[in-house]
Amino acid sequence: MKFLPLWMQRLASPQYFFLDIKVWIVWLYVLGVVGLLVGSIWGLAFVPPERLQGNSFRIMFVHVPVAIFAQIVYISIAVAGVVHLVWKLKMADVYMAAAAPVGFWLTALALGSGMIWGMPTWGTPWEWDARIVTTFILLILYLGLIVLRQVIPNPARATTALSILAIVGAINIPIIKYSVVWFETLHQPASIELFGDISIDKIYRIPLFTNIASVFILTAGIILANMRYVTILRNASKNWVQPWIQGRNR
Amino acid sequence: MKPHRRRRLSIVLFLFIGGLTTVLITIFALANYINHFYLPDQVVSGDVPIERTIRAGGFVKTGSVVRDSTGLGVTFDITDRVSSTFSVRFEGILPSLFREDKGTVVVGRLNADGVFDATRVLAKHDENYEPPELKGMVEQVDP
Amino acid sequence: MMELLTMDGHGIYVWSTYILTAIVLIGLGTFPFIQLRRFKQRNQEDIEL
């Protein structure tokens, strides 16, 4: 850890993580909310309706960002699971506890916005096609990560079980990604490829990419805020918590 | 890296790669069940069950959509744009994105004559997002 | 202005998505801070007793 700058080394200690991270959370919240407002207002009012879908395509500016991060948050939890199993870092466990509910709600939003979008475009809110089923499995995996901690009383055992579930469940992510390529689905193929073409017109990219970046920033902020809360819960008996409760420390 | 950590890391990687391989093999073995609908060539070649509720999909053949003069009945052809085409009969309201030369999924039964009696028609939309063509606006400015 | 609300009949879908998303994100963002405040209050009461 010696190679890291001092402010980063401080974050590894629960006490300084709790005190130092608050200013980060505030800035991430502000930036994320402003970005989402700009991107959403732009997407709602300042771009023309899509050629075939009309105005209903404006749901894309919400659906695509939340669906992307529903998956990325899961990958990050699986990485934290590897870190926990191999290096036993306490922070990895805190991260898994903090990120699982965020991922759950992002997945729920991806499914919810997709169902609403499906009504005017497909003519149905729900079809059991490969993309929708695998995303539904993702929601259940997140639920498992949340519930497992409550049903296993021994914290160390719970974290190990969670890590294994997170890593094994990560198999679902490439299947979600390629479900629309490998199988016949009602869901359309991807519009954005990381190393390829973007089949979205330039005028629609500005609000979409603004919202993708903003959901990323806001998600990071919310996960850090949750980590801050989990940190104090796990350290409730420590000496440094009392001054904070008495209001002598921010 | 310390030996016990390297050992744990390799167990974790083995767990993931082994699991992924197993799941992928299973998925591809079951691909026919995972596909959401039958393609036109499967319908035409008789690979689909007759008089049972199934889903079939493809592109709506240009110029094939014929509406009944009375009622909500409509007949159209679904094609794979290559060689296979079958006819669909449907009574009801088509989704607004249902267009000629665009993707569609129909739910219903294939009867013995090879005509698909659809109870539901869904519109597939593609991954392209484009603004309306600017032709109309140009004409307005420059008559 | 009305056009922005109705969106040619798609308004109900578009606006319900945006409102739903706003509610969930606000809930997610405020949850840790509400919990933290509760934790603080709970422990302050403990000391006074």
Residues of A with CB under 8 A from a CB of C: 29, 36, 40, 44-45, 49, 54-56, 58-59, 62-63, 66, 101-102, 105, 108-109, 112-113, 116-117, 119-120, 218, 221-222, 225-226, 228-229, 232-233, 236, 241, 244-246
Please give the average per-residue pLDDT across B117-136, as a whole number: 82
Q: Where do the domains of chain B lie?
A: 1-34, 37-123
Query: How many angstroms away from the CA of B51 is the closest CA of chain A?
Result: 21
* pLDDT of the residue at A248: 59
Q: Residues B29-34: what's their mean pLDDT? A: 82
Q: Do A82 and B12 touch (CB under 8 A)?
A: yes
Q: Give the chains touching A; criterion: ≥3 Cβ pairs < 8 Å.
A: B, C
Distance CA A166, CA A78 (A): 5
Q: Which amino acid is at A132?
A: I
Contacts of A192 (CB under 8 A, 6+ apart): A64, A198, A200
Q: Which sequence spans correspond to the domains of chain A?
A: 23-245
User: Which residue of C8, C18, C24 is in closest CB contact with A55?
Assistant: C8
Pick one of 1.10.10.10, 3.20.20.60, 2.40.50.140, 3.20.20.70 as the CATH number of B37-123. 2.40.50.140
Residue predicted with more confidence, C9 or B79? B79
> Do A186 and B102 make contact, defined as CB atoms within 8 angstroms?
no
Q: Does the interface predicted TM-score (ipTM) exceed 0.95?
A: no
Taking residues B100-120, report their average pLDDT: 92
- For position C7, what pLDDT does the model report? 84
Which one, of A145, A225, A123, lies nearest residue B90 by Cα?
A: A123
Q: Tell me whether residues A188 and B99 touch, CB distance under 8 A.
A: no
pLDDT for B77 beyond 50: yes
Domain membership of residue C12 (yes or no) is no
Interface test with A, best of B25, B102, B127 (most A CBs within 10 A): B127
Instruction: Give the per-residue pLDDT at C48.
Output: 60
Residue B140 has what pLDDT?
43
Contact C14 A45 (CB under 8 A): no
Give me the domain span that covers residue C35: 20-49
User: Containing H/E element for B77?
Assistant: strand B73-79
pLDDT at B131 over 80: yes
Q: Is pLDDT larger for residue B140 or for residue C13?
A: C13
CA–CA separation, B39 vs B32, rounded Å? 11
Residue segments in chain A with a per-residue pLDDT below the cut of 50: none
What pLDDT score does A1 carry? 56
Return the minimum-mean-pLDDT range out of A31-40, A213-222, B113-122, C24-33. B113-122
Q: Which residues of A touch B95 (CB under 8 A)?
A: 120-123
pLDDT of residue B138: 44
* Contacts of residue A125, Cβ cutoff 8 Å, sequence gap at least 6: A115, A116, A118, A119
Residue of B nearest to A132 (CA): B36
The chains found to touch B (3+ Cβ pairs under 8 angstroms) are: A
Give first-to-last CA distance, chain B, whole Å.
75
pTM for this predicted structure: 0.91
* Per-position b or e across A143-178, b if 16+ CB within 10 A of its CB: ebbeebbeeeeeeeebbbbbbbbbbbbbbbbebbeb
Which pLDDT score is estimated for A249?
A: 56
**For A200, which residue in chain B has the nearest alpha carbon?**
B129
Share of chain B above pLDDT 70, in %: 92
Residue B142, pLDDT score: 40
**pLDDT at residue C49 tops 70:** no
CA dihedral A178, A184, A185, A189 (to 10 degrees): 50
Q: What is the DSSP string of C32-47?
A: HHHHHHHHHHHHHHHH
